[in-house]
Structure 1
Amino acid sequence: MMIQHSIPFSPELEGWWCVILTHQIYLPGPKNKIPFGSFDDLAINITRPDVVHQIGEYDGDPVYTLDATHILASESDLELDEFVGLRSILFEQNELFEFAARAYQVQLFLKTHQYCGQCGSPMQIIDWELATLCEPCKHRCYPRISPVVIVAIRKGSQILLAKNKRSTANIYSVLAGFVESGETLEQAVHREVFEEVGIKVKNIKYVKSQPWPFPHSLMVGFVAEYDSGELNLCDDEIEAADWFEFGEDMPPVPPFKTISRQLIEHTKRLVHK
């Protein structure tokens, strides 16, 4: 079971350290890996915290996360060079992504829940679970998780791929969108597909899920079959979309560790059965 709780800080605490700075994580050279050892082994100028948040275990040792917002700017040039973006870990060092993603989401939760959203009083961190509590009104908060449906759509031997307008890379992927209040996951698939590309789908089947820390999503992956309609792209969301055969004419797609690529590969296997 994944451990997520707060414990009193001690310089002697030993384990793996996920040090988060906004959307980046500390991977010091020469190994460029999550560092292991005591807090003092980090050799980084951050304010010593009152508590440390344990987010799991790796090889039998605890994994902790720290917020590096309070780096001493006058002495931080080298240290800042050793912070890398979460996306670069996903693309280049996939084995680190799970811990990096979890650490980022924990720090985001703590940063955005310092005060009670109900009465405005300061929130207290609970020491036996990852949650905050308002003592005056007893309002309790847990990390936010935003479900997103993501679906690969098949039409005969073709797959529908689209390029999102907000994407800075020339990558085509499958369709995705946030689940709205009161919707089932299947209803969200139907709605998102119709809103983004104007077609209807059928035979929706769940495949797998993936936590996605941009900023706190849970990607719920499906495959579906084309039912009816012509492509009619949403101007606000989709820059381009089309049906593609699997082969050399496929456009650039996401890397293998992403759920979007895994749904593409899953659909490819269905086509080639």
Structure 2
Amino acid sequence: MSSTEQARWFVLGGDHLVLLDGQGQIPQGCRSQLPAELQDAPFEPFDHWEGLPCHLLDLGEEADTSAMTGLRQLMVAGDEEGFRLAGRAWQLATFRRSHRFCGECGAAMVPRAGEWAMACGQGHVVYPRISPCIIVAVRKGPAILLAAHRRHYQADDPMYTVLAGFVEAGENLEQCVAREVFEESGIRVHNVRYVASQPWPFPHSLMMGFTADYQSGEIKVQDEELVAADFFEADRLPRLPPHGTIARSLIEQCLAGDA
């Protein structure tokens, strides 16, 4: 790789941290413009962005990350493509970190030449894991079902969002939507409709977004997952997820009657 090659440089470290430039963006330019300690580092190509190659370097979980920023900052700043590609880089790095040994024979694994895969000496090959998830906006007339989740609850200013969950073995996506909504809120839904999807690198999910209509039931929250849930109309919304998330998009489309 030439030191004058123009590229975008994705430097990762710690837990979902990424190196950004002075403008809060993924560094772009030639290798010689990177910090001195990175100019000879073993970057790997993994994608392209507006005609420029994207190169990845994972400094590891124990790296000095004092100059790095949380991956979510790209999303909050509205840098959708930067967040998508940094998320892709993180999914690949997470795969490498979590597959150092073969799940079949226990032998050490190494990156396979020519593709993003890991292989052991016995010939067992694994590819990056993707976990399918559903995320769903439930409508009841002009109102939408929103919940405060325990995993990111703040008592002084709680954020409310739509319901989500992982797809289980043997069920299709529509069944997963109905099951997750009922398990978490006690609500039955029908008229389930697919809207859009979003890769979600925390750590390796693919969020598939749906809307559904309220059918029956009274709200009874699953205490292990939720703090509270309710139906909200557009004129009395709580704090919502940030723009750039599929959750926010589903909420806005649902309240606007576009989904």
Normalised to the residue count of structure 1, the TM-score between the two structures is 0.86
Q: Which residue of 1 aligns with 2:138?
A: 153
| Equivalent residue pairs, number | 254
1:20 aligns with 2:30: no
Q: In the superposition, relative to structure 1, how do residues 198 and 253 fare at CA in structure 2: closer, same or farther (>3 Å)?
A: same
In the other structure, the counterpart of 1:94 is 79
AA in 2 matched with 1:68: L
Q: What CA distance in whole angstroms lies between the structure 2 residues aligned with 1:204 and 1:72? A: 45
Give the alignment of 1:199-238 within 5 angstroms: 199-238=187-226
Instruction: State the Cα deviation string for residues 122-147 of structure 1 (Å, max 9, x = none).
Output: 213122221111231x2111111111
Deviations 1:188-238, CA, capped at 9 Å, x for gaps: 111111110011100000000000111111000000000111111101011
- Distance between the aligned counterparts of 2:61 and 2:136, measured in 1? 40
Taking only the aligned residue pairs, the percentage that are identical comes to 44
What is the RMSD of the two structures over their aligned residues, measured on CA atoms? Answer: 2.2
Partners of 1:70 and 1:202 lie apart in 2 by 44
Q: Using the alignment, how far apart are the partners of 2:184 and 2:201 within structure 1?
A: 23
Counterparts of 1:232 and 1:218 in 2: how far apart (Å)? 27
**Counterpart contact for 2:117–2:127, Cα < 8 Å:** yes
Q: Is the 8 A contact 2:145 2:229 kept in 1?
A: yes
Decide which of 174, 182, 186 is 1:198's aligned counterpart. 186
Deviation at residue 72 of structure 1 after TM alignment: 7.6
Structure 1, unmatched stretches of 5+, are 1-8, 74-79
> Take 2:66 and 2:24, find their aligned partners in 1: how far apart are those partners?
11
Stretches (4+) displaced over 6 A: none
Matched position secondary structure for 1:191: helix
Question: What runs of 5+ residues in structure 2 fail to find an aligned partner?
Answer: none
Residue 153 of structure 1 and its aligned partner are, at CA, apart by 0.3
Deviation at 1:53?
A: 2.6
Q: What amino acid sits opposite 2:46 in the alignment? A: I
Amino acid at match of 2:28: F
From 122, 125, 128, the counterpart of 2:108: 122
CA–CA distance in structure 2, aligned partners of residues 20 and 10 of structure 1 = 21
Distance in 2, Cα, partners of 1:26 & 1:128: 26
Q: 1:268 to 1:99 in 2, by over 3 A?
A: same
Partner of 2:238: 251
* 1:106 equivalent among 76, 89, 92: 92
- 237-246 vs 84-93, greater mean Cα deviation: 84-93
Native 8 Å contact 1:45 1:71 kept in 2: no
TM-score (norm 2): 0.90
Output the amino acid matched with 1:26.
L
Question: For the structure 1 residues 127 and 72, does the alpha-carbon distance in structure 2 shift closer, same or farther, using more than 3 Å as the test?
Answer: same
Counterpart of 2:148 in structure 1 is: 163
